[in-house]
Amino acid sequence: MGSSLKRLYAIYGASGFGRGVMPLAREQLIAENIQNYELVFIDDAECQSIVNGHKVYSFEAFLELDAADKYVAIAIANNRVREKLVQKINLYNLKHWSVIAPTLISMDEVQIGEGAILCNYVHFTSNIKVGKFFHANYFSYVAHDCIIGDYVTFAPGVKCNGNIHIEDHAYIGTGAVIKQGTPDKPLIIGKGAIIGMGAVVTKSVPAGVTVVGNPARILEKK
């Protein structure tokens, strides 16, 4: 009977990040009191059939499974891969899913787009807008009046201060610190820029470049 079919929830990616997100997903489903479901991994590499107690399916095998509804959260840090997988998921009757750790702090007027993954101890203060498929790894924060685009990735411990605009597909490395902007002149991290781990970003970063160090400087391609 259709009504007895379970719901399927999947974490796409059974590698490093995905295995860190799975326990958050498990906790979230319990907290939401969802009944009659199964929580699995999707991974297209040939890997074990069970990882940390959860079945692993290829995307094609996942599509074949019988379920009332299928929800997918993409837990792969590479934002180009994430976009490619979103396009693939959109071709089928699947729902995007956000996984949000119970320790998230989110103050006033915080808007977050679909498909986000927010790990433990992520902190948003107030008046923040974030696009689709954002990842914030643990201990990252975003302060007031920031605007963050689509497919942006924060590694662990990113310190994103107030009045910063981060454009689509930017990747911010572990422990990077970004100086605050002002309301009339926000600090801008351009589209697809990469901020190296531990970088101290004191001024706007153009689209497409990589910056490293303190103060952060453009890493020239050799």
Q: Which is catalytic among the residues 135, 144, 165, 169? A: 144
Number of residues located near ligand UDP, criterion CB under 6 A: 13
Q: Applying CB under 6 A, does 157 fall inside the site for ligand UDP?
A: no
Q: Applying CB under 6 A, does 171 fall inside the site for ligand UDP?
A: no
Q: How far is CA 90 from CA 29, 73, 74, 123, 179, in A?
A: 23, 13, 13, 30, 37
CB nearer ligand UDP, residue 32 or residue 60 = 60
Q: Applying CB under 6 A, does 16 fall inside the site for ligand UDP?
A: yes
What residues form DSSP beta bridges with 177? 159, 200
Give the footprint of ligand UDP on residues 65-84 (CB under 6 A).
Answer: 76-77, 81
The stretch among 16-24, 61-69, 123-131, 203-211 that binds ligand UDP (CB under 6 A) is 16-24
C-alpha to C-alpha distance for 109 and 128, rounded to whole angstroms? 7
Kindly tell me which residue out of 8, 9, 17, 163 binds ligand UDP, with binding defined by CB under 6 A: 17
- Closest contact distance (angstroms) between CB of 11 and ligand UDP is 10
| Distant-in-sequence, close-in-space partners of 173: CB < 8 Å, separation ≥ 6 | 155, 158, 194, 195, 196, 197, 198, 199
First to last CA, the chain: 62
Of 216, 221, 155, 157, nearest in space to 189 by CA: 216
Residue pair 115/131 in contact by the 8 Å Cβ criterion: no
Q: Applying CB under 6 A, does 22 fall inside the site for ligand UDP?
A: no
The residue to which tokens 């497919």 are assigned:
151
- Closest contact distance (angstroms) between CB of 169 and ligand UDP is 15
Q: Applying CB under 6 A, does 45 fall inside the site for ligand UDP?
A: yes
Q: Verify whether residue 96 is a known catalytic residue.
A: no
Q: Applying CB under 6 A, does 18 fall inside the site for ligand UDP?
A: yes
Number of other CB atoms surrounding residue 126 within 10 Å: 13
Active centre residues (catalytic)? 144
Q: Which residues bind ligand UDP (CB under 6 A)?
A: 13-18, 43-45, 76-77, 81, 85
